[in-house]
Structure 1
Amino acid sequence: MDAAKPVTPRYPPRLNPSESDDLAQAVKNWALAHGLTIRPLPSVVPDDVDPQGLLAINVPVTLFPSPFPRQCFDQARSAQQTYNELYAAISRDEEFLAGAVEEVRDGDEFTSNLWNVHLRVKKEGYTQNLSLGLFRSDYLVHQDLSGNETQQIKQVEFNTIASSFGGLSAQTTLLHKFLSTSEYPLLEQPIAPESLMLPENDSVRGLAAGIRAAFDAYGDSELGLERCILFVVQDGERNVFDQRHLEYALNNTPEPVRVFRIPFSKLLDHTSIAQTPKRQLLYHLPRNRSKTFEASVVYLRAGYGPSDYPDQRAWEARYHLERSAAIKCPTVLSQVAGTKKVQQILASPRPANGPSALGRFIPDDAPLTAQVRRTFTNIYPMDTSEAGLKARQFALDPELCLNYVLKPQREGGGNNHYREDIPTFLEKTPESHWGAFILMELITPPKQENIILRNGKLEEGGVICELGIYGTCLWNQSTGQLLRNEEAGYLLRTKGDTSNEGGVAAGYGCMDSCALV
Structure 2
Amino acid sequence: MHSLPYANYPPFISREQEEYVLSTIKDWSIQHGLTVRPSSSFVPGEVDKSGVLATTAPVTLFPSPFPESCFRQAHFLQTTYNELYAAISNDEVWIEEVMKGLIEVDDFIKNLWKVHQSVKEEGYVQQLSLGLFRSDYMLHAPSSHELPSLRQVEFNTISSSFGGLSALVTSLHTHLLTFTDPSAHLAYPNHPLFEAREAGSANSNSQALPSDATINVPPVNDAVQVLQTGLSAAHEAYASSKSEPKLPLCILFLVQDHERNIFDQLALSSTLKFPVFRLLTSQILSHTSIDPDNHLRPLVYTPPSSPATRFEVTTIYLRALYAPAEYTSAESWSARLHLERSAAIKCPGVLSQLAGCKKVQQVLTSISPDHVRRFLPNASQSTLSSLRSTFAPQYDLNPNSEGLAIALDESRAANHVLKPQREGGGNNIYRTAIPGFLKSLPSKEHYRSYILMELIHPPAEAKNTVLRSDGTVISGNVISELGVFGACLWRQGERTGDGATRSGFEILHNEGGGYLMRTKGKDSDEGGVAAGFSCLDSVLLY
The two structures have a TM-score, normalised by structure 2, of 0.90
1:113-512 alignment to 2 at 5 Å?
Answer: 113-145=111-143, 148-182=145-179, 185-186=185-186, 189-191=189-191, 192=194, 194-223=214-243, 224-250=246-272, 256-274=273-291, 275-348=293-366, 350-351=367-368, 355-363=369-377, 366-384=381-399, 389-429=401-441, 430-447=443-460, 448-454=462-468, 455-478=470-493, 479-512=504-537
AA matched with 1:173: T
Cα offset, 1:108, TM superposition: 1.1
AA matched with 1:401: A
Deviations 1:308-361 (A, max 9, x none): 10111000100000000000000000000000110000012x23xxx5122221
Q: Distance in 1 between matches of 2:276 and 2:386?
A: 37
Deviations 1:265-306 (A, max 9, x none): 110010001231110000011122111100000000001010
Residue in 1 that maps onto 2:99: 101
SS in 1 for 2:9: coil
Q: Distance in 2 between matches of 1:196 and 1:416?
A: 37
Answer with 104-113 or 326-335: which moved more.
104-113
Q: Distance in 2 between matches of 1:410 and 1:188?
A: 40
Residue in 1 that maps onto 2:498: none
Answer with 101-110 or 85-94: which moved more.
101-110
SS in 2 for 1:249: coil
SS in 2 for 1:149: coil
Q: Determine if contact 2:179/2:187 at 8 Å carries over to the other structure.
A: no
Deviations 1:94-152 (A, max 9, x none): 1110011112123311011111100000000000000000000000000142x841211
Residue in structure 1 matching 2:42, options 41, 44, 57: 44
Q: Distance in 1 between matches of 2:49 and 2:481?
A: 35
AA matched with 2:242: E
Q: Distance in 2 between matches of 1:58 and 1:187?
A: 19
Task: Name structure 2 gaps, 5 residues minimum.
Answer: 196-213, 494-503
Identify if the C-alpha distance between structure 1 residues 365 and 22 changes in structure 2 by more than 3 Å, giving closer, same or farther.
closer
Q: Determine if contact 1:4/1:68 at 8 Å carries over to the other structure.
A: no
Answer with 222-231 or 232-241: which moved more.
222-231
AA matched with 1:311: S
Q: Determine if contact 1:130/1:474 at 8 Å carries over to the other structure.
A: yes
Residue in structure 1 matching 2:28, options 30, 48, 56: 30
Identify if the C-alpha distance between structure 1 residues 103 and 365 changes in structure 2 by more than 3 Å, giving closer, same or farther.
farther
Q: Distance in 2 between matches of 1:515 and 1:4?
A: 14
AA matched with 2:260: R
Q: Determine if contact 1:167/1:242 at 8 Å carries over to the other structure.
A: yes
Q: Distance in 1 between matches of 2:336 and 2:148?
A: 42
AA matched with 1:422: I
The two structures have a TM-score, normalised by structure 1, of 0.94
Residue in 2 that maps onto 1:84: 82
Identity of aligned residues (%): 49
Q: Distance in 2 between matches of 1:195 and 1:325?
A: 50
Deviations 1:438-481 (A, max 9, x none): 00000000020000000212100001110001000000011211
Deviations 1:14-42 (A, max 9, x none): 12111111111100100111111001110
Q: Determine if contact 1:106/1:436 at 8 Å carries over to the other structure.
A: no
CA RMSD in angstroms comes to 1.6
AA matched with 2:221: N
Q: Determine if contact 1:205/1:249 at 8 Å carries over to the other structure.
A: no
Would you say how many aligned residue pairs link Structure 1 and Structure 2?
502
Residue in 1 that maps onto 2:209: none
AA matched with 1:356: D
